[in-house]
Amino acid sequence: MEYVEFGKTKAMVSRIGFGGAPAGLRNYLGAYNPDLPENNNNIIGAIDAALAAGINYFDTAPGYGSGKSEELIGYALKGSRNSVFLASKAKICDPDELRRSLEQSLNRLQTDHLDFFQLHGTSYTDQDVQKVLHDGVLEQMLQFKAEGLVRFIGFTSEDSNRAVYDFIQCGQFDIMQICYNVLMQHPYDPNRPFGSILEAEKAGLGIAVMRAFTSGVFQRWLAMVHPENHFDYTQALIQFVLSNPHVDVALIGMRNVEEVQKNAATCDNLSGRVDIRRMFTYY
């Protein structure tokens, strides 16, 4: 397994991380019931396989099945807690509610601290920025660090609007989790160069990216324009994300041992990387 220093946290994290959304969300990217015992066993087996492959970054959130993902990951990692980096999240809320959310996550994850604690966002508004930076949310997150409840703090976002740059430039966050893949390249344009990934890199943030497989958009587009094409682009999509020199961790949702082993093998295949900057050179 390939490892990299995760920004200013200095943590040595695996280049691919175990994404916890598929573990807890019902019918996420297809029919799926997280309450079936056989599905739970598959998730636990996948986590065991991830540990065996050297994956040490595990990402989850209360919103992934009303705590279901956290419960499964906490159970599966209980005996390996000291050898992994555990990340969870909370929605923007009042500081007291933020503390309650964190405490509930710690309980479900069967741990006394999180390595990475992030604001769980899709697209932040100006009001969200005000609440985080000026109305006590960030202050509360820093207090969690002071108390040892979390080691590092960050935020997640599906886009790269002004709020993302405000959070990067405030100088208080340690990590950023952003949507980035072969279709959704708004965080990184190597030609200009421009993007929130570059700004996060300049600020020393650890950079994790999500939706390497485009959440099925790429596959649905191919089915529309070339229905006879049945090539499996999974490896290529992972390698595109890992080829970005500024991406530390690609978070990948996995539900069974086979998926974990295939994705770990792809990560280990360094010959599959491409020169993104050269690929996007127009002249």
Tens digit of pLDDT for each residue in 64-95? Answer: 988 999 999 999 999 899 999 999 999 999 99
Residue 169 pLDDT: 95
Q: Which spans in 56-177 are helix H?
A: 68-77, 95-109, 126-134, 137-147, 162-169
Tokens of 96: 């007291």
Summarised one tens digit per residue, pLDDT across range 125-170 is 999 999 999 999 999 999 999 999 999 999 999 999 999 999 999 9
Residue 143 pLDDT: 97
In the chain, the number of structural domains is 1
Residue 248 pLDDT more than 70? yes
Indicate the pTM of the whole model. Answer: 0.92
* Burial tier of 158 (Cβ tally within 10 Å: 0-12, 13-18, 19+): middle
Q: In this predicted structure, which of 34-38, 50-54, 168-172 has the lowest mean pLDDT?
A: 34-38
Residue 280 pLDDT: 77
Residue 182 pLDDT more than 70? yes
Residue 237 pLDDT more than 90? yes
- Buried b / exposed e over 198-218, threshold 16 CB at 10 Å, is bbbbebebbbbbbbbbbbeeb
Residues 268, 3: Cα–Cα separation, whole Å: 10
Domain containing 205 equals: 3-279
Residues 53, 267: Cα–Cα separation, whole Å: 10
Residue 283 pLDDT: 64
Average pLDDT score over residue span 199-221: 93
Residues 260, 238: Cα–Cα separation, whole Å: 13
Residue 31 pLDDT: 87
Residue 196 pLDDT more than 80? yes
Name the 3-class secondary structure at 206. Answer: strand
Average pLDDT score over residue span 220-246: 93
**pLDDT band at residue 259 using 50, 70 and 90 as cut-offs:** very high
In whole numbers, what is the pLDDT of the chain averaged over residues?
94
62 Ramachandran zone, left/alpha/beta (phi>0; psi -120 to 50): alpha
User: Could you give the angle at the alpha carbon of 174 between the alpha carbons of 214 and 201, nearest 5°?
Assistant: 65
Residue 215 pLDDT: 86
Residue 28 pLDDT: 87
Radius of gyration of the chain measured on its C-alpha atoms: 18
- Provide the CATH number for the domain around residue 46: 3.20.20.100
